[in-house]
A = this chain, B = another copy of it.
Amino acid sequence: MSDPASQTIPEGTLADLGEFGLIQALIRRLPQGDQVLLGPGDDAALVSAPGGAVVLTTDVLVSGVHFRTDWVTPYDIGRRAAAASLADIAAMGGRTSAIVVALTAPPSLEVAWALRMADGLSDEASEVGASVVGGDIASSTQLAITVTALGDLEGREPVTRSGACAGDVAAVCGRLGWAEAGLAVLSRGFRSPRALVAAYRRPEPPYAAGPAAALAGATAMCDVSDGLLADFGLLASASGVGIDLDSSTLSIGEPLRAVAAAYGSDPLEWVLTGGHDHALAATFPAGTSLPEGFIAVGTVSSGEGVRVDGLLREGSGGHAHF
C-alpha cells in the first residue's frame, strides 16, 4: 500500500472517471491493518474477531443535514463520518477494527472530493488502529455517507446504556458544546474562534476512554451525539434511574464563554444540549477511581429523567430528523 500523499489525484468528476476507476483509486489509498485478513476488492472483507463477539453500528451523514460542503473540507467530512461510528463502538467499551462505507453522490462530484473524503475516513479510523475494508458507491442527487463500524470488546462484556444504578457516579470524558458553538459561529458567517470551528469540523472523541471505562467497571455508557441532556436522558430511561447533574462541575471552555458573551447566549446551554462532539457519558459505582479524562458531573438517583442543579430538564436539544 503506497502513501496516499504520494499519489496523483485524478482530475475531473465521478462521471469522468467512472465507478470502477473510482473504486480502484480509492482502494489504492486505503492502508490495511494486521487485523484485516482480506481487504477491499472482493464480495466482502474478512476481519479478525478474536474476542468471539463483535460490536456493530451504522451512521449516515447527509449533505445539507449533517454537514455543508462549503463549511467543512471533504477530508474533515470523512473524519466526522468515521468519528460518529467509532465513538459508538467506544461507547460500548470496544475498539473499532474495521469500517465499511457507502457513498451516494451526484456524477458531477469531483473525484478529488471523494478521494480526500476517503483519506479522512481512513485517517480517523487509524486513530484506533482500524482500516477501511470495503464500500459501495452509487449515483444519487444528494451526497450522503454511511459508515458502518465493526469493533472488538477484547473478551469483555459490553457496557450498555441500561446498567446504571442509584448511587452511581455520573461522569463525562471529552469536550461538550464545542461543536455546537462552532456551528453557531459558522452559521453567523464567521470563521473564528478557530478552536470552536475546528471542533465542529473535526470532532476528537476520546476513543481510548471507552475501553478504559469498561475496564474501570463502568455500569452504563453512551456517546454524546445529541447533547448531554438527551443522551444522559436515554441512558437514564434505559436504566430506569434518574440522573442529577451539578452544573458547577461541567467544564465551560474559555472560547465558549467568549462566543456566548458576544452572541448573548448561555454557554451552559451549549454544554448541556450541543451534540456532535462525541464525548463519552458514563456511570460508575460510587468510589470508583475514574479513568483518565473522566470528570464526575453528577449522581444517579432512583428517580427518573435528568435534573440540572435540582431542576428537571425536558427535551433533547439534539437534532430531530423528521
Contacts and interface: CB of A to CB of B under 8 A. Distances in A.
Interface of A: 13-15, 17-19, 22, 37-38, 41-62, 65-66, 87-89, 91-92, 94, 98, 100-104, 107, 133-142, 144, 146, 148-151, 153, 158, 160-162, 221-223, 238, 320-322
Contacts of A92: 42-44, 46
11 contacts: A13-B322, A37-B158, A41-B161, A41-B238, A42-B162, A45-B56, A46-B53, A46-B158, A49-B53, A60-B103, A148-B148
Contact of A54 (B49, B60, B222): B49
B133 A140 contact: no
Contacts of A14: 321-322
Contacts of A137: 60, 321-322
Copies in the complex: 2
B151 A44 contact: yes
A24 to B, nearest CB: 12
B43 A223 contact: yes
A17 B321 CA distance: 10
B18 A320 contact: yes
Nearest to A150: B56
B321 A38 contact: no
The 6 nearest A-B residue pairs measured at CB: A44-B57, A148-B148, A49-B49, A60-B102, A43-B91, A146-B146
**Among A58, A66, A102, which residue has the most Cβ atoms of chain B within 10 A?**
A58
Nearest to A49: B49
Contacts of A47: 53-56
Contacts of A52: 48-50, 52
